[in-house]
A and B are shown apart, each in its own frame.
Chain A
Amino acid sequence: MKTNDIILQTVTKITVFVIILFSIHLFFAGHYYPGGGFVGGLMTSGAIVLLLLAFDMKTVANVLPIDYKHLIGLGLLFAVGTGLGGLLFDVPFLTHAFTSVNLPLLGETSLHTAVLFDTGVFLVVIGVTMTIIQTIGEDE
């Protein structure tokens, strides 16, 4: 018997966007307010998990055709790559740099290479969480 999940699915479609927006906010707030790559990534994967609950695995895999194991690798490359950048300028590994840029819409914004490192963390957290959940979910 097929159960009818229309309420769950409709609410999910709306809520997922709110959750993802909140997680992106948390991610970018990390430098000045509580938040950062870890909790941002965890919340993004929370949104994907909600999709998994409301729909089935195949649908979600169609919507988000991502190999999460590669996402882990990509995130690690981001993090290590940011560190390696320091080597180009003859300073120790993981030395960060920042500068203030006047962006058209956002105004005076400080851009920091630590954000790139955080992006790595963000991607690895999503990759690891989703790999764990998918592997357990697909297990028979």
Chain B
Amino acid sequence: MNNLIIMPILIPLISGVLLIFFSKNIQIQRWGAALSSFITMIVSVMLVQQVKTEGIQTMDVSNWEAPFGITLVSDMLSAMLVLTTSIIAFTCIIYSFRSIGEDRERFYYYPVVLFLIVGVNGAFTTGDIFNLFVFFEVLLMASYVLIVHGGTKIQLRESIKYILVNVISSALFVITVGFLYSVVGTLNMAHISERINAANQSGILTVIAILFLIVFGLKGAIFPLYFWLPGSYYAPPSAITALFGALLTKVGVYSIMRTYTLFFNHDAGYTHQILSVLAILTIIFGVIGAIAFWDVNKIIIYNIIVAVGIILFGVSVMTPTTLAGSIFYLMHDMIIKAALFFLAGVMIAITGTSNLRGFSGLIKRYPGLGWSFFLASLALAGIPPLSGFAGKLLIVQGGFEGERFWGAAIVLMSSLLMLFSVMKVFIHGFWGNPRTFEGEDKVPVGALMVAPFVLVGLSVLYGIGTEVLMPYIIKAAETLSDPSIYIEAVLKE
């Protein structure tokens, strides 16, 4: 019995509901949203500490015991992801104050952002496969609203594609859960895991594993299924893109991580091999996109796809080292992608264009922006004192230990191309002849820079404090590599 687990879901939910009543009062909207996301952040820190000291926390909602009711489970991985989500939500709301525009703010912007956080936090916390679907829908509904919010032409066009793809993948999700239920007869994740181990080596379970890979791959944008992402994420304003880029695909990645470590260990030679090949192809196609474009947003969007590939490669190798690396890289990537989208948003606000050929010499007038973008780029590529290093190191190391030489080499090569893609932005956008842009004086750069400064600072601390974080990460990886810890915590045997 522990109601702290549900607080990161409940606080944004209640405050989102309350904000519906004050939709026309922008001040209440802003400060209500900021306050609630701040409290969520504090509660998540407490939750991480509790999981650290007392082990995996579970809560049987409405007091029905584990396999029969819905159980919420906070192991170290989900607690840390909830914390990262809350931090990003808070910075995104702060960033929205000056960037999103009053018309949008007046039209239920903050409640919808809070509902998105409810969905993401719920999906990270739940221990029930159908409940996971429901939270997916909560966050998808909110993201449908956010992607079309404002109703510009490009948003309308892209939202149709986005909704179409996600409705299809959600239907596939339900079908897959139906298959799984007909085989194992339970929906509780720990119980499913137990039953799958008992059923041992049934061909249909391998089919279900691949179906889950397709479903979550559509949500998380892996190689043949990422086609919807570059267009959709290009459409909305940068605050929303940051939220999407940092959170939505990562929920898909988390779900693959969870199902492929907890459920589908029985035929790892086949399923994890496919995952591994797809992850590597995702990396390759991602970097091709990242170096091909001359558009700031497009470059960062393709870097999301690369990161998804890197994390999943770590998952597919399935040694404790690579799992720790994947977790490390997952959290780093959430923070750094949000920071990069915020910074790109500031650049676009100043210059009025996202085309790299359209501006240069920004560092002359905006040194803070320039150097924080530089730091974020280095962190993205994984230069040692910064946050991207430790995760990638562990993945590569584990890859070599597991004798996946090609995969590990491609991860290494991809870092170089990622660095090239963002340095292209830095060199062409920030160096060169300073130009003046129409209306740049009106842009509140100081206020906009708060959120990216916080995130870049956090990413630097994250890199320097690797040693402090390591026990948490190892604890999370332990649960992933040994599902019996999870099962025992939930079913209390």
Contact = CB atoms under 8 A, between A and B. Distances in A.
B235 interface: no
A94 B62 contact: yes
B63 A80 contact: no
Contacts of B171: none
Given A80-B10, A87-B3, A93 B17 contact: no
B62 A70 contact: no
B21 A92 contact: no
Contact of B61 (A73, A80, A84, A93): A93
Nearest to A70: B21
Interface residues of B, number: 16
Contacts of B208: none
B3 A93 contact: yes
A21 interface: no
Contact of A91 (B1, B10, B18, B20): B1
Interface string B19-36: 011010000000000000
A91 B63 contact: yes
Contacts of A76: 13, 17, 20
Interface residues of A, number: 18
Contact of A73 (B1, B3, B20, B59): B20
A9 interface: no
A92 B14 contact: no
Contacts of A130: none
Contacts of B87: none
Given A80-B10, A87-B3, A95 B63 contact: yes
7 contacts: A73-B18, A77-B17, A77-B18, A80-B13, A93-B59, A93-B62, A94-B61
Contacts of B63: 91-92, 95
B302 to A, nearest CB: 37
Contacts of B6: 93
Contacts of B60: 92
Given A92-B60, A93-B61, A94-B61, 18 more contacts: A69-B23, A73-B17, A73-B18, A73-B21, A76-B13, A76-B17, A77-B17, A80-B13, A86-B62, A87-B3, A90-B1, A91-B1, A92-B1, A92-B3, A92-B61, A94-B62, A95-B62, A96-B62
B14 A80 contact: yes
Contacts of A77: 17-18
Nearest to A81: B14
B50 to A, nearest CB: 16
A72 interface: yes
Interface string A62-100: 000000011011001100100110110011111110000
* SS of B interface (majority): helix
Given A92-B59, A92-B63, A96-B62, A69 B20 contact: yes
Contacts of A80: 10, 13-14, 17
A94 B1 CA distance: 12
Contacts of A73: 17-18, 20-21
B119 to A, nearest CB: 14
Nearest to B111: A73
Pick the 10 closest A-B CB pairs, nearest first.
Answer: A73-B20, A94-B62, A76-B17, A95-B63, A93-B6, A95-B62, A92-B63, A94-B61, A73-B17, A73-B21
A38 to B, nearest CB: 15
B62 A72 contact: no
Contacts of A87: 3
A96 B64 CA distance: 11
B61 A72 contact: no
Nearest to A79: B17
Given A80-B10, A80-B14, A92 B62 contact: yes
Contacts of A94: 61-62
A118 to B, nearest CB: 14
A85 to B, nearest CB: 11
Interface string A111-124: 00000000000000
B24 to A, nearest CB: 11
Interface string B44-70: 000000000000000111110000000
A67 to B, nearest CB: 9
Nearest to B6: A93
Contacts of B23: 69
A90 B21 CA distance: 29
Nearest to B22: A73
A95 B70 CA distance: 12
A90 B2 CA distance: 9
A84 B17 CA distance: 14
A93 B10 contact: yes
Nearest to B61: A94
B238 to A, nearest CB: 28
B388 to A, nearest CB: 37
Given A92-B1, A93-B6, A70 B59 contact: no
Contacts of B21: 70, 73
B189 to A, nearest CB: 18
Contact of B20 (A72, A93, A95, A96): A72
Nearest to B62: A94
